[in-house]
């Protein structure tokens, strides 16, 4: 077998070990050895995507892993390095680097003000290093809506993230250290849907209009709101990252690519207070304006582990700019409310199409697949315009869902239903295919499997569908989603 290079930085590299049957973890531990200039390391790994750190920039490293042909890889060059010695001068240290230079954060806890990462810079977090946000947000800068500030799919002023990059390219953030967004130390989690100082909550890492960005290895934790939020970016790689947020932290999604193209998410572990991965493409304003929208397409998610969270991989509900060509493979989802979730509503417009989840394992989820075109979001989410099951006129604000595939899925301890699919009567979900499914149930208290009005509570159900064209499906019990006495709001 051959090793696959997933990501590179000046001092780090991540490889994919394509062992048959591997998900986030390998079927068994494998020994490895590194050789090269000044190297003679060896150890073991249990990860399908394994990262190696503390390498020399611009050098060739030979990696030998049990069962694989040796691979020689060259780390990225470094045009000069500075070691952080004064947290108050972290921004100045980044700005002083030449293009292609690295700022090394050494072991210890470094509390810094929100940083802006310029193009061509490399940030390396050494073993034992922690870059931490201050508890007091009084001096946090605000990112205006016309400079990339957004909130839930619309332009809006927001507090700048601990790490922000705007219109930048060729950035790496790597190393085994930790980035702490300070969510629990401030008041961020007490005003989840509100504003302070005229701005929405900060992210931890906010990439705006960026290209060729790699995040390789660090733990990112304790975010004020969404943890990693790329917006209108291209050619992004996230490899061997760990995302950690408490289960009761509001809207602390793990990784939310919005209006992005060519995103690779490999070997990332999530434990969050909301969705693990939420793929978005903006939403229209109440008046239907969509001048800010752009599509999301070509997203690949492999060998990830999603623990807790509202959903493993979620698409929408902000999807007005179109979300297409998403592939989720060889992932583990443990105790998430849902596995793959697609949600939208009338008024959004846009298309979700060519979505596939393959070769994944789920354990202890409420619902493996949830598709909901009556999602009761926003101030009018419970109105008749959104919730009526009577056909409405079809137009540019009618969302469409097409070509969703699940295959070679093993799901254990399903609580509510294997799949719940609710389309619009005027625009049914089309092209749903479920193939090679293994499903085991552990029914719990009955509850609605979708967040829409009038959904019947279920427990241990198989396939529930309304206004949904099913091309192929496993031999699971089928039933309706809505109660017979349901009446539109």
Any idea how long the chain is? 489
Q: What is the DSSP letter of 202?
A: P
What is the DSSP pairing of strand 367-372 with strand 417-422?
A: parallel
**For residue 480, what is the enclosing H or E element?**
none
In 3-state terms the chain splits into helix, strand, coil percentages (rounded to 5) of 5, 50, 50
The b-or-e profile of 436-467 (16+ CB within 10 A means b, else e) is: ebebebeeeeeebbbbbbbbbebbebbbbbbb
Are the C-beta atoms of 209 and 232 separated by less than 8 Å?
yes
> Cis (ω within 30 of 0) for the bond into 469?
no
Closest to 205 measured CA to CA, from 249, 276, 256? 256
Q: What is the DSSP letter of 195?
A: -
Closest to 155 measured CA to CA, from 167, 165, 163, 143? 143
Residues 6+ apart with CB under 8 A from 324: 295, 296, 297, 351, 352, 353, 354
What is the DSSP pairing of strand 25-36 with strand 39-47?
A: antiparallel
**Phi, psi for residue 188 in degrees, rounded to 5:** -55, -40
Nearest-angstrom CA–CA distance, 323 and 237: 18
Closest to 402 measured CA to CA, from 476, 469, 302, 316? 469
Give me the DSSP letters along 307-365: EESSEEEEEESSBTT-EEEEEEES-EEES-SEEEEEE--TT---EEEEEEEEEEEEES-
Are the C-beta atoms of 97 and 121 separated by less than 8 Å?
yes
Active site residues: 274, 310
């Amino acid at each position: 077998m051959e090793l696959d290079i997933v990501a590179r930085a000046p001092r780090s590299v991540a490889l994919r070990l394509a062992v048959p049957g591997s998900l986030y973890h390998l079927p068994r531990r494998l020994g490895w050895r590194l050789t090269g200039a000044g190297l003679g390391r060896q150890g073991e790994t249990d990860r399908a995507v394994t990262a190696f750190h503390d390498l020399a920039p611009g050098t060739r490293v030979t990696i030998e892993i049990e069962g694989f042909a040796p691979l020689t890889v060259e780390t990225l060059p470094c045009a000069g390095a500075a070691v952080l010695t004064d947290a108050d001068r972290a921004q100045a240290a980044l700005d002083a680097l030449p293009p292609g230079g690295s700022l090394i954060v050494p072991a210890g806890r470094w509390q810094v003000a929100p940083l802006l990462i310029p193009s061509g810079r490399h940030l390396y977090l050494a073993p034992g290093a922690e870059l931490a946000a201050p508890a007091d947000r009084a001096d946090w800068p605000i990112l205006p809506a016309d400079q990339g500030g957004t909130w839930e799919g619309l332009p809006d002023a927001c507090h700048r993230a601990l790490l922000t990059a705007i219109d930048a390219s060729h950035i790496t953030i790597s190393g085994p250290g930790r980035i702490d967004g300070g969510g629990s130390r401030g008041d961020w989690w007490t005003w989840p849907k509100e504003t302070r100082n005229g701005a929405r909550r900060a992210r931890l890492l906010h990439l705006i209009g960026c290209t060729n960005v790699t995040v390789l290895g660090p733990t990112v934790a304790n975010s004020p709101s969404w943890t990693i939020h790329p917006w209108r970016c291209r050619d992004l790689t996230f490899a061997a990252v760990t995302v950690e947020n408490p289960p009761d932290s509001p809207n602390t999604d793990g990784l939310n690519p919005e209006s992005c193209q060519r995103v690779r998410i490999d070997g990332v572990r999530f434990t969050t207070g909301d969705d693990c991965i939420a793929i978005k493409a903006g939403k229209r304003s109440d008046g239907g304006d969509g001048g800010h929208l752009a599509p999301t397409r070509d997203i690949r998610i492999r060998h990830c582990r999603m623990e807790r969270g509202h959903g493993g991989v979620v698409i929408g509900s902000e999807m007005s700019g179109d979300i297409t060509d998403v592939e989720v493979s060889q992932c583990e989802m443990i105790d998430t409310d849902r596995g793959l979730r697609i949600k939208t509503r009338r008024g959004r417009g846009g298309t979700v199409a060519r979505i596939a989840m393959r070769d994944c394992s789920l354990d202890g989820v409420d619902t493996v697949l949830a598709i909901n075109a009556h999602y009761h979001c926003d101030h009018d989410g419970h109105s008749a315009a959104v919730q009526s099951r009577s056909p409405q006129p079809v137009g540019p604000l009618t969302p469409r869902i097409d070509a969703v595939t699940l295959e070679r899925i093993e799901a254990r301890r399903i609580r509510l239903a294997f799949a719940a699919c609710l389309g619009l009567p005027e625009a049914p979900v089309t092209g749903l295919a479920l193939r090679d499914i293994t499903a085991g149930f552990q029914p719990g208290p009955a509850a609605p499997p979708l967040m829409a009005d009038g959904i019947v509570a279920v427990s241990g159900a198989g396939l529930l569908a309304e206004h949904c064209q099913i091309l192929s499906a496993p031999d699971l019990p089928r039933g309706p989603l809505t109660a017979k006495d349901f009446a539109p709001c």
